[in-house]
Structure 1
Amino acid sequence: MLENRTGNLLKQLMAAEDLITSEQLSRVLHVTSRTIRNDMKELESLLAANGAKIKSVRGQGYKLVIESDQLFRKFLQESFHEGKDDIIPTLKGGRVHYIINRLLLTDKNLKLEDLAEELFISKSTIQNDLKEVKELLLVYDLKVEKTGNSGLRIKGDEVNLRFCMSEYLFNRKLDQTELTYDPAALLVNEELAAIRNIILEEIRDAGITLSDISLNNLVVHIAIACKRIREGNYISAIPKEKNEILKEKEYAVSEKIVRTIEEELNVAFPETEIAYIAIHLLGTKLLTHHELTDGEVLEFIDESIMDLTKKILAETDEKMDLGIKEDRELFTGLSLHLKPAINRFRYKMNLRNPLLDDIKSNYPIPFEAGVVAAGVINKELGYDIHENEIAFLALHFGAAMERKKVSSKKKRCMIVCASGVGSANLLYYKLKSQYSSELEMIGTTELYKVKEINFAEIDLIISTIPIKEEVPVPVIEVNTILGDRDFEKINGALYSKKAKNKADSSIRSELVFLQQPFDKKEEVFAFLEAELLKLGLIDESFMDNVRKREKVSPTCFGNLVAIPHPNTPQTEETFWAFCTLQKPIDWGGKNVQFVCLLSVQKNSTGDFQKMYDVLGDVLDSPAIIQHMLKCKSFPEFKAVFPS
């Protein structure tokens, strides 16, 4: 624990936006400048092992420099909170989340001064953070209103307020419902468990399936409803679609859930609340085509949803050229996913996705396909799609891409053999036993029948005789009795990895900017924009398109890496620009220190996949990133970058 005087000194350093002198500190803390200097030495030794240091500039004063956010936060927690669970955020993204939590959980007015003291920052910093708080709350049509004496309070519709609470107060994992703030602020764990068991019993009886994520989402919604009803806050408006909802099985199930909860938790639910629980069920129930025949699927999916799915697949094919447009399973799975998802979009329900970060990091191409899909949904229906939902869409695209790999894994092979049926059969079965997982043996034929082969149905020919006429597939010439050299030829054709496109993966010295001093994402964008404009690589609209893509979902992928790019190909050539930073900056709530601005040539969507393939090694390796962050010259950087 920090002594009171040392702790107060640290608070002043944290609140200061610039250098602060010992004289200023002595006036605030009512001690002499000499005492300040002595306390500063003591504080400096404490901070050295806890992720921070004090920068001293002769004649100008002191400034706190945080080197490890994680270590420093832990130190603050232990020093000021005596083991309590709440952790003081030091990055802007964390502070914004904290402020929203505080506003949502209080029925009193919050003063700016109190928030500044809680977070150890200045009042002006709080006012700056509030701009982002207001923007995030606007998504739910909620406003932050000022009252007398700088008090703040959230105002808005009760339904929107609850959806916002669902998003910000809970950190839902696949196997549990865990609160990030204060469990007692909503319901005790026994009540949460009771709600969960009641839901499970009723949906089991009704034959409704929920994913684990959706189940947690419904538990959260009902927990919030209980809290708000107990405080006298009710949903008064009846949904416009109530008559439609009443006809659905989910409404009857919601009634049963509510009646049982009323008995066990002693909470009286008005009728209007039942409709909103039914909306949650309609928006989260799990539909799988594996349980339905093709005819039942087509009967179950509305024509409007099928049309929307067709438009999504057409757009992703045009923009990304993934070769999965005709995947029937993708069409069906996406359509079934969209049916309940559209209910969520309509009511601004956000189904938290615990796999979001993993999907963004490990499946960047499917995630980009999800971004394209979200753009189509916005264009057709007018809904803004949250990145949690984009990641769910990405899973469908990722599965289709994996299916494509599996289906194309085996190469379809025709054998051409001139020495008769016996030798042809020997070669056929030898190849079949040796390469059962790599080759699909279509059959054998004679040389003179080569012209009759349907080349649309084969990928290569293995021949015991030279084929002089041109054919549209590779030909591997081998001996009838296969020897080592023959196996080497076949192995070479089957297992050689495609060389990476040198033009795509080449690094240009004029596009590598190392050890830059920027503190904010926008400063990085402004710098890169100026440099790329000077080189004539982009036009004035390029960075606006990068910002538009960033607004949909921040392009931070973990491991200190961000890969910003425009929402559609913009430039006349494919390139990437690298920027490393002297220290991590906040990028959509994550630390980023390595920025790769990626741009794909117009009408060359295949380059996007190739460039991500090269970047894959970087994304996966903290060691490579750390090496590149230390580089101070282009030759060093190029030597470390995966080739």
Structure 2
Amino acid sequence: MDDRIEAILRELMGSNHPLTGKQLANRLDVSSRTIRDDIKVINDELNDYGAAIISKRGVGYELSIDEPKLFRAYLNNLTQDAEQQATVPTTPDNRLAYVIRRFLLSEDSIKLDDLADEIHVSKSTLQVDLKEVKQRLNTYSLALVSRPGYGLKLSGSELNRRFAMSEYLFDRERLTPDLMWLDQLTTVADLSQEELDNVWELLLEQLRINQVTLSDIAINNLFVHIIIAYKRITEGHHIALIDQDIESIKTKKEYTVAHNIVKQVEKALDVSFPKIEVIYIAIHLLGTKLVSEDRSINQEIETVMDEGIHALTLKMLNAVEERFSLGIQNDRELIIGLGLHLKPAINRYTFGMTIRNPMLEDIKNNYPLAFEAGIIAAMALNEQLNVSIDENEVAYLALHIGAAIERKKAANRPKQCYIVCASGVGSAQLIKYRIEAAFRSQIHVLGTTEYYKIKDIPFEETDFIISSVPVKEDLPIPVIEVNAILGQKDLARIEQYVSFEEKSITDYFPEANVFLNQKLTSKKDVIEFLADYAKSVDDLAEDYTQLIYEREKIAPTAYGNMIAVPHPISPQTSKTFLTVCTLEKPIEWADRKVQFVCLLNVEKNSQEDLQEMYRILSRIVNDEQLIQKLIKSKTYHAFIQTILRMEQ
């Protein structure tokens, strides 16, 4: 059974409601007719295994299992067949992964004609694929070198080759983390299950003895790297000396741990690891270690991280605060958590290591505001250290930021402020009483102080300052300037900061901003169409469209489920608004199909709370049936009614 038919089964098994032929076709990038044909084939296979795919008119396809034991036996046979047979790739993505694996594992040159025959495509199709293959390999500093008469051969350092192998050699999407890729490793490394189990146990034992704490994902990755090292060593390949200062690595605790791990692996597998392999394992540990679990959040930050990382963390959070006004830049748990993550992340970048985040898509889809904040933090990191990190790392930053956002929501306390006044305690008290009378439970006044004592204010406990004198100092919290005798304008300015008028969901989608069933055929056409509209309703810079493309380069804004949410890399408009465009036919957008596009524009220097807008976007992104209904809407009335029903 081929990959596509397996994918149909997987989609139906993983869904708690029927899926239409159109939904399956969109997910698998084929026609609805192909889905119908494939389901006939599947049902022929399932006939003897107590299961069938039932078609319900007007509802969709549903997997019906009458005899669970028989069906499980079928799945077991299917899994074993997939492991034992090297199937020909049937989709563009599978083809790319297959070609990359072929070059990573081949010791000889490969002729294009032979490779094209092997995967059943034309030579011209293969040459198009190779452009993408070369780009992906280039991220690991690997290249395909042409030898006339022989074909193409992989060129690059053994270290970089190994990084690439850890990502592309294993079909990670097919396996659960609990399997640790053991079945595939058995075949690839020519080791028995027992030998792999031994290596796994000794790895855990050494980490425990040396009190090194790693995440489950990090342990799995390290395990795979060690087995790859074994495979390459037994084939006569060794890592060349790397440019970084090896002596400095030898002084670190991680080097001792790596040395002990290698000694145990050598004994278990009867192999001799060169000394440089110990350096490599140490680099991996440096890139994945976590803080010990017994650390207290209440410890002084200076004892947990060095001064440079602490300062860098604060700059990143200040950049996030300037953009989104989330009020989390003084969250101690966030500062510590993000700072502790940054050190190994920078180590990973320094030594050219990549890390895969299996939660990437979930984070992008469910926490879009936190992910965008992660991108702003990553840009600040790049500005400070010239360290450019990919969206896998951005998603890890987003986890820390998202947790802080949720903590702030949970706190649900009134805003806390300090009052600064130069004309005496009496006037400061007058301002205090007026604020407490006007805002009651919304604002808690922590205290009053003179201007010259402004640096003594406990900023970590204070949300903002109300001052009757101009404040020239650069402070870590906002300052609201008022008159010594508070008037209605002063109170309105304060109210604008502490509360916001709750918007109706329809306010985000006015009719003038919704364009349905457009005949646009490319990502470029859609972006330019939406950008031209934005320019027609706001006074925007000439490079506005280019700023949207710059954001796309950092991490594509196509989220799956046929939706993309492009936006400029920094706020450009005089107000916050969304512009929606649905398309007659899906278009390609960063290897995904897209038919619903929402251009997001955020007001420059805005203090407004954007969390409600991002919550609505998240609901849309994650509701496949809703997206299909919105795409099918022919009128604005039908579109907005569908949006309104989402909240009911």
Cα deviation, residue 210, structure 1: 0.9
Per-residue deviation, residues 272-293 of structure 1 (Å, max 9, x unmatched): 1101101111111111575147
SS of 2:594's partner is strand
- Whether the 8 Å contact between 2:322 and 2:605 is mirrored in structure 1 is no
Residue identity opposite 2:441 in structure 1: D
Instruction: Return the alpha-carbon distance in structure 2 between the equivalents of residues 512 and 182 of structure 1.
Output: 51
SS of 1:284's partner is coil
Worse overlay, 84-93 or 558-567: 84-93
Could you tell me the percent identity over the aligned residues? Answer: 41
Partner of 1:568: 570
Are 1:146 and 2:146 counterparts? yes
Q: Which has the larger radius of gyration?
A: 1
Instruction: Return the alpha-carbon distance in structure 2 between the equivalents of residues 94 and 276 of structure 1.
Output: 30
SS of 2:180's partner is strand
Instruction: Return the alpha-carbon distance in structure 2 between the equivalents of residues 96 and 76 of structure 1.
Output: 26
- Which runs of structure 2 are paired with 1:58-137 in the superposition (5 Å)? 66-67=31-32, 83-85=81-83, 92-137=92-137
Cα deviation, residue 307, structure 1: 1.4
Per-residue deviation, residues 130-189 of structure 1 (Å, max 9, x unmatched): 222222222211112222357222211111111111222242754342279775123544
Q: In 2 relative to 1, CA 75–103 (structure 1 residues): closer, same or farther, beyond 3 Å?
A: farther
SS of 1:592's partner is strand
- Whether the 8 Å contact between 2:144 and 2:154 is mirrored in structure 1 is yes
Cα deviation, residue 612, structure 1: 1.8
- Whether the 8 Å contact between 1:504 and 1:574 is mirrored in structure 2 is no
Worse overlay, 128-137 or 522-531: 522-531
Residue identity opposite 2:227 in structure 1: A
Instruction: Return the alpha-carbon distance in structure 2 between the equivalents of residues 179 and 523 of structure 1.
Output: 46
Equivalent of 2:231 in 212, 227, 235: 227
SS of 2:152's partner is strand
Per-residue deviation, residues 341-399 of structure 1 (Å, max 9, x unmatched): 21111112222211111111111111111111111122222222121111111111011
Partner of 2:249: 245
Partner of 2:375: 371
Partner of 2:166: 166
- Whether the 8 Å contact between 1:169 and 1:179 is mirrored in structure 2 is no
- Whether the 8 Å contact between 1:239 and 1:275 is mirrored in structure 2 is no
Equivalent of 2:629 in 624, 627, 631: 627
Q: In 2 relative to 1, CA 237–221 (structure 1 residues): closer, same or farther, beyond 3 Å?
A: same
Q: In 2 relative to 1, CA 591–70 (structure 1 residues): closer, same or farther, beyond 3 Å?
A: farther
Partner of 1:609: 611
Instruction: Return the alpha-carbon distance in structure 2 between the equivalents of residues 179 and 551 of structure 1.
Output: 35
Partner of 2:276: 272
Residue identity opposite 2:200 in structure 1: R
Equivalent of 1:542 in 544, 556, 561: 544
SS of 2:605's partner is coil
- Whether the 8 Å contact between 1:92 and 1:586 is mirrored in structure 2 is no
Instruction: Return the alpha-carbon distance in structure 2 between the equivalents of residues 369 and 529 of structure 1.
Output: 23
Instruction: Return the alpha-carbon distance in structure 2 between the equivalents of residues 555 and 180 of structure 1.
Output: 35
Equivalent of 1:185 in 178, 182, 188: 188
SS of 1:291's partner is coil
Instruction: Return the alpha-carbon distance in structure 1 between the equivalents of residues 159 and 569 of structure 2.
Output: 32
Worse overlay, 619-628 or 354-363: 619-628
Equivalent of 2:309 in 271, 290, 305: 305
Partner of 1:429: none
Q: In 2 relative to 1, CA 179–136 (structure 1 residues): closer, same or farther, beyond 3 Å?
A: farther
Residue identity opposite 1:614 in structure 2: I
Partner of 1:321: 325
Cα deviation, residue 409, structure 1: 5.4
Q: TM-score, normalised by structure 1?
A: 0.72
- Whether the 8 Å contact between 2:579 and 2:599 is mirrored in structure 1 is yes
Instruction: Return the alpha-carbon distance in structure 2 between the equivalents of residues 143 and 406 of structure 1.
Output: 50
Instruction: Return the alpha-carbon distance in structure 1 between the equivalents of residues 353 and 92 of structure 2.
Output: 25
Partner of 1:459: 441
Q: In 2 relative to 1, CA 605–162 (structure 1 residues): closer, same or farther, beyond 3 Å?
A: farther
- Whether the 8 Å contact between 1:578 and 1:597 is mirrored in structure 2 is yes
- Which runs of structure 2 are paired with 1:4-83 in the superposition (5 Å)? 66-67=31-32, 83=81
Instruction: Return the alpha-carbon distance in structure 1 between the equivalents of residues 329 and 116 of structure 2.
Output: 53
Worse overlay, 548-557 or 523-532: 523-532
Unaligned runs of 5+ in 1: 3-47, 54-63, 413-447, 462-468, 475-495
- Whether the 8 Å contact between 1:353 and 1:391 is mirrored in structure 2 is yes
- Whether the 8 Å contact between 2:145 and 2:153 is mirrored in structure 1 is yes
- Equivalenced residues, count: 525
Residue identity opposite 2:31 in structure 1: I
Q: In 2 relative to 1, CA 500–614 (structure 1 residues): closer, same or farther, beyond 3 Å?
A: farther
- Whether the 8 Å contact between 2:357 and 2:395 is mirrored in structure 1 is yes
SS of 1:145's partner is strand
Cα deviation, residue 103, structure 1: 1.9
Partner of 2:156: 156
Instruction: Return the alpha-carbon distance in structure 1 between the equivalents of residues 304 and 588 of structure 2.
Output: 45
Instruction: Return the alpha-carbon distance in structure 2 between the equivalents of residues 512 and 387 of structure 1.
Output: 30
Residue identity opposite 1:459 in structure 2: S
Residue identity opposite 2:82 in structure 1: K
Instruction: Return the alpha-carbon distance in structure 2 between the equivalents of residues 507 and 191 of structure 1.
Output: 63
Instruction: Return the alpha-carbon distance in structure 2 between the equivalents of residues 312 and 50 of structure 1.
Output: 40
Cα deviation, residue 459, structure 1: 1.7
Per-residue deviation, residues 307-333 of structure 1 (Å, max 9, x unmatched): 111110111111111111111111111
Cα deviation, residue 501, structure 1: 5.5
- Whether the 8 Å contact between 2:391 and 2:554 is mirrored in structure 1 is yes
Residue identity opposite 1:641 in structure 2: I
Partner of 1:291: 295
Partner of 2:582: 580
SS of 1:185's partner is helix
SS of 1:311's partner is helix
Partner of 1:209: 213
Residue identity opposite 1:144 in structure 2: L
Residue identity opposite 1:634 in structure 2: Y
Instruction: Return the alpha-carbon distance in structure 1 between the equivalents of residues 398 and 345 of structure 2.
Output: 14
Worse overlay, 142-151 or 173-182: 173-182
Cα deviation, residue 640, structure 1: 2.1
- Whether the 8 Å contact between 2:324 and 2:607 is mirrored in structure 1 is yes
Q: In 2 relative to 1, CA 119–294 (structure 1 residues): closer, same or farther, beyond 3 Å?
A: same
SS of 1:598's partner is strand
Partner of 2:643: 641
Instruction: Return the alpha-carbon distance in structure 1 between the equivalents of residues 109 and 122 of structure 2.
Output: 19
Residue identity opposite 1:285 in structure 2: K
Instruction: Return the alpha-carbon distance in structure 2 between the equivalents of residues 558 and 300 of structure 1.
Output: 39
Partner of 1:493: none
- Whether the 8 Å contact between 1:112 and 1:150 is mirrored in structure 2 is no
Q: TM-score, normalised by structure 2?
A: 0.71
Per-residue deviation, residues 62-83 of structure 1 (Å, max 9, x unmatched): xx9634888888999999x995
- Whether the 8 Å contact between 1:105 and 1:185 is mirrored in structure 2 is no
Unaligned runs of 5+ in 2: 3-20, 46-78, 417-429, 444-485, 493-498
Per-residue deviation, residues 429-482 of structure 1 (Å, max 9, x unmatched): xxxxxxxxxxxxxxxxxxx9x949967996259xxxxxxx999999xxxxxxxx
Q: In 2 relative to 1, CA 120–540 (structure 1 residues): closer, same or farther, beyond 3 Å?
A: farther
Q: In 2 relative to 1, CA 505–570 (structure 1 residues): closer, same or farther, beyond 3 Å?
A: same
Worse overlay, 527-536 or 320-329: 527-536
Per-residue deviation, residues 552-589 of structure 1 (Å, max 9, x unmatched): 22222232222111211123343323233344444334
